[in-house]
Each structure stands twice: as structure tokens, then as C-alpha cells.
Structure 1
Amino acid sequence: MMLKNYNFPKKDARLYMSFMYVTFASLLVGGLMGLLQTLSRSGEFQLPFGINYYTILTVHGVILGLVLTTFFIVGFQFALMGKTVGLSDKQRKWAWIAFWTMLVGTIMAAVTILIGEANVLYTFYAPLRAHPAFYIGLALVIVGSWIAVFTNFRQLYVWKKANPGQKSPLLAFMVVINMAMWFIASLGVAISVLVLFIPWSLGYAATINVLLSRTLFWYFGHPLVYFWLLPAYMAWYAIIPKIIGGKLFSDSLARMAFILLLLFSIPVGFHHQLTEPGIDPTWKFIQVVLTFMVVIPSLMTAFSIFATFETTGRRLGHKGLFGWFKNLPWGDVRFFAPFVGMVAFIPGGAGGIVNASHQMNSLIHNTIWVTGHFHLTIATTVILTYFGIAYWLVPHLTGRRLTPRLNKLGIIQTIIWTVGMTIMSTSMHIQGLLGGPRRSDFSNYAGGEQVQTWISYQLAQAVGGTILFIGILLMIYIFIQLAFFAPKGVQEFPIAEEEVDAEPTPKILENWYLWIGITIALILFAYTIPMIDIIKHSPPGSLPFDWPIGRS
């Protein structure tokens, strides 16, 4: 059972807030880089001080796509575990070790990017090569996150031993699912960084296996998207119902959806490599099919959320076909921001179907359409939900409260963000359909009619990016107020309770050996033969056992 009426001790709140401080500092830095990027691409602005376009592009991707998300997720999930299953002194110590390891790695990677030694973008594709400190920093971030993974595992294990026969709290179950997925997936990028990139960057290997490194990255890269998304799902399933005055629609359905997302999020990386040679088309097709399996838990989630909305509204007495919808708490930013994120996931999911489709992918592959898709799914669906969480989590941790004024500013911030992102993402999608490449700056290129058309859309992106940066500044202001200046008080940590007459949750849903075993089996099925083929046909000198002894 959940630890009810449990207020965090200051030493726990300080730990969780440390992750939030890094998160919102990353938002400011990464957002500024995004603004400079869109202004540069518009052709109406020159980067000052000789700043390299690809430097700011790399900072933007790494800081927002990797640093902000990872720190927020780990901090938020520690708070969820502390609230539902508790945090011991020893576990807190390991959580701090995780934080500092991740922070040191982040600083190492950031410094190499800022001094121009790692303009390799957040995907760091070979044969682009960065300073060794960049890869070592990435390795430390991964190691730090693994410490958090096993700390969360330990928290649930200790709780289960103290509460034999009871089902685990839903949010703790969800955290462990997400961390299990993260650990299994990040093994790929860890192997790539430690075995391929670091020796190559240090000069111990003369070459690097490009296809193998990209395959290992995308083994990690697609579940990374779900690592970002699942904390938003946690809020949608188990927190939003409490905010709107309702109850959890179905504990069993929520657990099953998370299990399916674990099963089908990892063995699908080839759908990011559909245009690459060296991978048998049969295996690409198999992984495309597995990719589409995630539609099932996504539809389950949509059904559960809107069923919660309707049943809550009707229980509160709202009449008519859509009376429940009209009377949702639109003036509560804790609900409004995540709801806008939910809506954005509809076109975002449709774009994802295009990205993963064998034939349609050939039209938009490596165009700025893909960037627009990311900005709909991650930068709108995920980030707005994170903001919605922060509006109650930060004051809960700091002993303050979300005042009506800050709530209103949050509503304004959400609208600003939505307008800016709609303009920017829409223009990216259209430019992508016209063949506009991603990651390219045409501001100094006096090309033909097609390039001039691309630049006109990039001007629209600059307008949207400027509006978005205003939204970022407003969010930073709200965060500072909630962390340091809002009135002292009590802010609820909203966790929905299950319906009193709910059906018992089947015990098989907590059979970790079964679900982890199936996940590993799917991964082995999807990757074993293709990886053998990649290694078998690798060029000489591109694999660790081909490396010459000593520096080349």
C-alpha cells in the first residue's frame, strides 16, 4: 500500500530538487541554442563571435534531448519511489552518487562541445569524431543513470519484502518498467561508446565500424524516445485522474500497457535505418512490424485516459454527450499543460507511422520533417507534461504552493508554447515534404528556387522559435518563483486511488522474470542474425579484435 500523508524530509526533497535545478538550467541553455539556430537558418541573422552553427545545433540536441530529459526523469522517478515505497539512508546515498556522476559526465561533454571539439550532434554518428572527453562524459552519464536504475530496483525489492503478497504501488511498478527498459537499451550505446568510439577517438583504433556503431545507437535510440515518454504516461494514468477529482480507471490496463511498451520499444531500431545498406531488408521489415505493435498500448492509454475523463465528469454530475469534457478543469495548469501534450501526441503519432513505414520513410528520411516530428512528440507532448508535473512537484518539494497568479502564468506559458511549436513544427513538416534536409544551414547560400523556398519556411521556424523562447523564459521565471519565492504552504502530491470495486490485478503482471525474459527473447530474435551479418562483413580493422596494438 502507498505511504499516505507522507511528507518528504528535507534531505529527500533536496535530492529531488537537485535534479530539477539541472533540468531547468538545461532548458534555458538548450532553448537559447535553439533560438540562435532558428534565427541563423532564417538568413536574417548572423551568429555572433564566429560561433559555429553545428556547435549550437549539437548543444541544443544534447542538452535538451539527453541532459534535460534524463535529469528530470531520474529526479521525478526518485520522488515517485520515495512517495510510494520510501527511500532509506543508504538508497539516498546511492541516489546522490548517481546525480554527481551524471553531472560530472554532463559537464565533460558540454565543455568539449562548447570549445568546438564535439560538433557531432546528439546522435554522434561516425565518422564524425569528437574529443575523447565527450565520449567519456557520455559514458559517465550512462553509468550514473545505471546507479539510479539499481537504486530504484532496490527500493521496490525492499518494499516487496516488507509487504509480502501485496501488489506493488502502480507508480513504483511503472518506474521499474521504465528503468528496466532504459538499462537494457542503454547497453547498446554503452558498448558503442566504450568499445568503438573511445578507443577510436584516443587513436588506439585506426578506423571505426560505422554501420555497427549506428546500429548500436538505434538499438538504444528508439527506446530512448519511450524513456522520455513513459514518465508522461505515468502522470496521465496515475496523477491526472487525482487532479480532475477522479480515480484510476484500471490498474490492470495501466500495468499491461507499460509491459507492452517494454516488450515492443527495444527490438525496433532498424526502422531508423531503412535507407542504410548492409542490413537485410527482411530484418528491416520485421522490425517495422514490431514498431507498429506499440500502437496497441498507445490506444490502450488513450482509451484509459478519456474513460477516466468521462466517468469522472459523469460522477460529478455533468450531463449531456460532452458535458464531462466542457467541465474539465481547464483553468488548472496541472491539468491543462499535460492535456495539450496529449492532443499533440495525435499528429505526432501519425507522423511516427510515416517515419516507420518502409515506403513513406523514403520520402521524408533525413529531411527536416523528422525534426518537426521530434518537436511535436518530445518537445510538446513530453515537455508540456513535464511542465505540468513541475507545477505541483516543485512547490511540494520546496514547501511552497502554486498560487492563482502562478497558475495563470502557467496557462499563458502553455498557450505561448503551443502557438510557437505549432508554427515551427508545421513549417518543418512542410519543408520536409519539399525535400528540405535536416541539420543544414542555408542562410549563406544563394541557391536556386528550391533553396529559397526552404529558407522561407525556415523564416517561419524562426518566428515559432522566438515565440517558444519567450515561453521558455516564462517557464524559468515560474520555476524560480515556485522554488524560492512563492508563499509557504502545502502543495498536494496528487496520486489517484483505485476504484473501490476494481477487479483484482492479476499477479502475472508482476512476474518480472516472465516479462524481462520475453523482452530479451524479442531482442535476440530481432538483432542476433543481423548483428552477425554486420560483424561478418565488416571491413578490416573496424572491429576491436582487429585493432593494431598501440596507438596508430
Structure 2
Amino acid sequence: MMNGTWKVDARDGKLAMAHIYVAFVALALGGLAGLLQVLVRSGKFELPAGISYYTILTTHGVLLGLVLTTFFIIGFQFAAVSRTAGTLSDRVRFWGWVGFWLMTIGTAITAFYILIGEASVLYTFYAPLQAHAGFYIGLTLVVVGSWISGFAMFAHYAKWKKAHPGQVSPLLTFMSVVNMILWLICSLGVAATVLFQFIPWSLGYVDRINVLVSRTLFWYFGHPLVYFWLLPAYMIWYAIIPKIIGGKMFSDSLARMSFILFLILSIPVGFHHQLVEPGIDPVWKYLQVVLTFMVVIPSLMTAFSMFATFEMYGRSKGATGLFGWLRKLPWGDARFFAPFVGMLFFIPAGAGGLVNASHQLNQVVHNTIWVTGHFHLTLATTVVLTFFGAAYWLIPHLTGRVMTKAMNRLAIIQTIVWSIGMIFMSSAMHFAGLLGAPRRSAFSTYGDAPQALEWIPYQIAQAVGGTILFIGIILVLIIVTNLAFFAPKGETEFPVAEVAEQAERTPLVFENWTLWIGIAVVLILIAYTVPFIDMIQNAPPGSKGFKLW
């Protein structure tokens, strides 16, 4: 069939699949690094050949937190805009490939310096930890490549709007544009600290940098990064899952409003990762904590919308009673089951996020492995399981194949295995964190700390959970390989839901980008301008190694 009905153009599919291949290679390598981490933390295993624990920790964080997510998201979004706004032009596709190769080359450079032990600086690469300049240059290429891909999507969206004046754009295209705007604004922070601080410092042009500025710029980027991961999962929940279950979307307007709220509220909140740091006035910390709690609103809107969709579907199939609709959902369909389990895990993940963002409760868990456990519930479960569920229809759609019943059963098993592994590992991390177990640390670094004996059972439970999760990675790699290369030839639908008949008409104001981006910029300036000036003017003696800071 021609594009515009339901199929992504084959040329666009190749671009999307190139990103997805890199994403799953990153999953394999990063997952292996994660397995080694939990085995080391159990105290029962030592890394061979003098490999540093912090090398594998950096490998795990960068490959899974940055590479897997960014490549899968951009690949999925290119497919989504092609499916809903029409075939990409040759020019847009060309720049999409330029962005892909820049990101891939940057990833290879970054991974090389990590693996040779020249960049054991962890996922956050905090100063005064210093990596080889190649590590920072590689990350810069990844970010710049993603920007190019983002602008390519903007150009495709603008072309659609020009051809359809006065019309509301397709929902998935709109959502992709919002997510890339969010990414472009927030990644300016990490680009600034890498280009103007870390690269000159690592090359020896300066002796010192302003550490507080570097950490602030990182977290200006670091927390919105979470929403860059989450919004594609929300795209799948809002616009695709209703079609998979055979229902309709509860509200197009509510979906767009939630995305606009994420764009406005998710960036000026980085200080809630810096609540225990000196040098930031408590007033500004308080402001950003308030803004952080406001991000709960679009998340609750999403939960309401999704469960309203499920209930509407169940009622249409004759369900009665308060929860009778649950029995009508397609539990045997991995395309639904994996994302739905991810939604359920987001309930405790969101509760943990409220703890992290609260000034008082954060004092208990800050820099403990609780935070790592929370991180694994949000990204490594809610987001990743949703991405797995999407891969089960997206990959065969793009490769011209179909998912067999055997692969579907294996995908159901994979979801269950992943859930069991994460319950073991994340729960143990949360409990150990409440006992004060530090994050980012190997078992051998605990020394003679008397409380370390309390942590041992939880470290062993983490190793058990991590091992089960690695089995889950092997299973999903088997499924993805089958869907990409060995599954029977055929046509698989790219499902896009229709809006329920009783839903309100979507207003055009949601696409007033001057308004929404303007509000986002104003909030960012309010939240950061005064404290940022204060960090520069009142930096400790000797910290201003580079004249810009």
C-alpha cells in the first residue's frame, strides 16, 4: 500500500531500522556491563584482567542511558512522522542519515575511550573526574547528530503544515516535534558544559573549571532527559496501544495538553538533583522543587487517559462492574502486555520520584543506591518494556515480516522474566538505600564500614535480579533478531488509534509554538538566571579556570 494509508515508506524504514539496530547492540553491551556490576557488588565476583568496576559502570550508564534510548527514540520518531505525516522528502531523509552517522561515530569514539580505561567518569561525568578529550568529543557528536535529526523532523512537520493550513497535525507527528523541542532545549546545557568547560580542561588549555556550574548545566539537561525517554513511551500509550487492543483514544486534546505541559515544566527543575549542594540559595531550590512536583500533573493526566481508554474498550465488549474491563484486555498479545506492565511499574517509580524531589525525604536517600533503584524502575522498566512492546510490531513493519505465535509467547515470557528480575534488583536497591548503601560504589570500596554487613543480603539480591534481567536481555535479542531477519515475510500494521467519537475537537492553540516555547524559556530564565550569575560571581578561589566562567 502507498504511504499515507498505513505503511512507512521502505526508504524511511531503512533509516529507522539503522537507529534501532544500534539501539539493540547498545542494549547487549550495556546489559553485559550491568550484569558484571551487580556480580561485583555481591562481593562474590572479581573482574578479570584488571578491569575497573568504574569502567563497566560508565559503559553501562552511557550505552543504556544515552545510546540505547536516543537511537531507539529517534528511529521510532522518524518512522512515526513518516507513517502519519507522509513519506520523508529526499532532503529530510538525507539529513536524517547525516544525524545517524554523526551519532554512530560519536558513540564509537566515546565507547572506545571508556573501554580502554581513559573515561571511567560514570554516566554523569562529574568534575573533578576527568576523561580523555575523545570521550567528550564523542558525546558532542552524539548530541549534534541528534539535533540534526530533530531539525529534519521539524522540516517535515513544517512541510505538512504548509500543505494543510488550518488543520491539526497528526498526533504522533505533533508528539515527536514536542519531544525533539524538549531535547534541543535541554541538551544545550550538556553541550555548553562539554564544549566550554570539559573539552578545554581535558586538553590542558585550563587547569580548573567551575564545578558547580558544570553540575548545574548537567542537571539542567539530566532531568529533562528523563522526559525525553518517557515521552516516546507516552506516545505509544496514547496513540498506539488503544489501536492494539481494538479500542479508541480517549482524547486527542488531553494527550496534546499533557505533552505541552511536559515541555513547559520539565526543564527548569534540575536543582532537585542538587538539594544538598552548597552554593545554591535555598529559595531557588524551593522554586524548582515546586516546579518538579507540577510535572506530576501531566503524568496523572496520562494515567487517567489510559485507564479511561481501557475501561471504554472493556465496556464496549460487555464488561460490567468496577474492574470487569480488565478481563477484556488482550493479555496474550505481547504488543500490549509489555507496555502495560511498564505502566504498572510506573506507579512505584513515580512515588519514588516524589521522594527524590522532596527536600526533606531527599536527605534520607540522596546519593544512596535508592536513587539507582528508582532509575531502574523508570527507564529500565517503564520505558524499556514499552520500547520492547513497540519493537514487536515496529521491526516487522519496517522489515516486511510478521511476528509468529512462538515469538509472541517468547515475548510474553520475556516480559515476565524482566519483571521478576527488576522486582528483585530494584527492591533490593531501594531497601539498601534506606540503610545508607551508597550508589556508584563497588563492594570492595565499603572497607570496614560496620553497616556494610547489613547491605550484603541486598547486594546478593541485586545480583540475583541482575542475572535474571540479563536472561531477559538475551530473550529480547533473540526476538528482535528473529523479527529483523528470520520471521516469515508478510505485512505488519503500524497501528495508530482513532479518537473516540465523544471526544472534544482539538483546538489549534496547541500548535502555537511561539506561545509554548516562549513560556518554557521564561520559566527557564526565572529558575536559572539569578542562581547562575551567583555561581559565577561567587565561585571559590581558583575555580574559574576558563575565562567564560
When normalised by structure 2's length, the TM-score is: 0.98
Alignment of 1:54-453 (within 5 A): 54-86=54-86, 87-443=88-444, 447-453=448-454
Q: Confirm or deny that 1:27 pairs with 2:17.
A: no
**Residue type matched to 1:455 in 2?**
I
2:517 maps to 1:516? yes
Closer, same or farther: CA 540–445 of 1 in aligned 2, 3 Å: closer
**One-letter identity of the residue aligned with 2:171:** L
What is aligned with 1:17? 17
Task: Describe the superposition over 1:458-497 as per-residue Cα deviations: whole angstroms up to 9, x where unpaired.
Answer: 1110000000000000000000000000111111101001
Q: 2-side partners of 1:235 and 1:7: how far apart?
A: 17
Query: Matched residues in 1 for 2:521 and 2:17: separation?
Result: 35
Partner of 1:492: 493
CA distance in 2, matches of 1:529, 1:392: 48
Alpha-carbon distance, 1:545 to partner = 5.6
* Counterpart amino acid of residue 76 in structure 1: F
Post-superposition offset of 1:3: 5.8
Contact 2:197 2:546 in 1 (8 A): no
What letter is aligned with 1:15? L
Structure 1 residue aligned with 2:42 = 42
Q: Which amino acid aligns with 1:297?
A: P
How many residue pairs align between the two structures? 547
Give the distance between the partners of 2:10 and 2:497, measured in 1 at CA.
Answer: 24
Per-residue CA distance 1:168-193 (angstroms, 9 max, x = gap): 00111111111000000000000000
SS in 1 for 2:443: coil
**What are structure 1's unaligned runs of at least 5 residues?**
none
Deviations 1:97-152 (A, max 9, x none): 00000001001110000000000001000000000000000110000000011111
State the shift of 1:402 in Å.
Answer: 1.0
SS at 1:213's partner residue?
Answer: helix
- Deviations along 1:513-541, whole A, 9 cap, x unmatched? 00000000000000000001001112455
Amino acid in structure 2 at the alignment position of 1:294: V
Quote how far apart the aligned CAs of 1:499 are: 2.2
**Whole-Å Cα distance in 2 between the matches of residues 538 and 200 of structure 1?**
17
Write out per-residue CA displacement over residues 321-365 of structure 1, whole angstroms, 9 at most, x where no aligned residue: 322111100000000000000000000000000000001101100
The letter for the 1-side match of 2:291 is L
TM-score (norm 1): 0.97
How far apart are 1:45 and its partner, in Å? Answer: 1.0
Displacement of 1:14 in angstroms is: 1.2
8 Å CA contact 2:415–2:472 kept in 1: the answer is yes
The Cα offsets for residues 401-421 of structure 1, whole Å up to 9 and x where unpaired, read as 111110000000000000000
CA distance in structure 1 between the aligned counterparts of 2:305 and 2:217, rounded to whole angstroms:
34
SS at match of 1:135: helix
Shift of 1:442: 1.8
Q: Does 1:478 align with 2:489?
A: no
In 1, Cα distance between the equivalents of 2:245 and 2:429?
35
Q: Which one-letter code corresponds to 1:77 in the other structure?
A: Q
Deviation string, structure 1 residues 409-440 (Cα, Å, up to 9, x no partner): 00000000000000000000000000000011
Q: What do the CA deviations read for 1:43-66 (whole angstroms, capped 9, x no partner)?
A: 111111111100000000000000
**2:178–2:263 contact (8 Å) kept in structure 1:** yes
C-alpha distance in structure 1 between counterparts of 2:6 and 2:508, whole Å: 27
Give a deviation string over 1:378-411, Cα, whole Å, max 9, x none: 1000000000000000000110011111000000
Conservation of the 8 A alpha-carbon contact between 1:249 and 1:304? yes
Instruction: Report the Cα distance in structure 2 between the residues aligned to 1:96 and 1:212, rounded to whole angstroms.
Output: 34
> Residue 120 of structure 2 contacts residue 131 of structure 2 at CA under 8 Å; is this kept in 1?
yes
Q: Is the 8 A contact 1:204 1:547 kept in 2?
A: no
Quote how far apart the aligned CAs of 1:448 are. 4.8
Say if 2:422 and 2:469, in contact at 8 Å, map to a contact too: yes
Does the Cα contact within 8 Å between 1:206 and 1:541 map onto a contact in 2? Answer: no
Distance, in Å, in 2 between the alignment partners of 1:448 and 1:218 is 30
SS of 1:546's equivalent in the other structure is coil
Q: Which runs of 5 or more residues in structure 2 are unaligned?
A: none
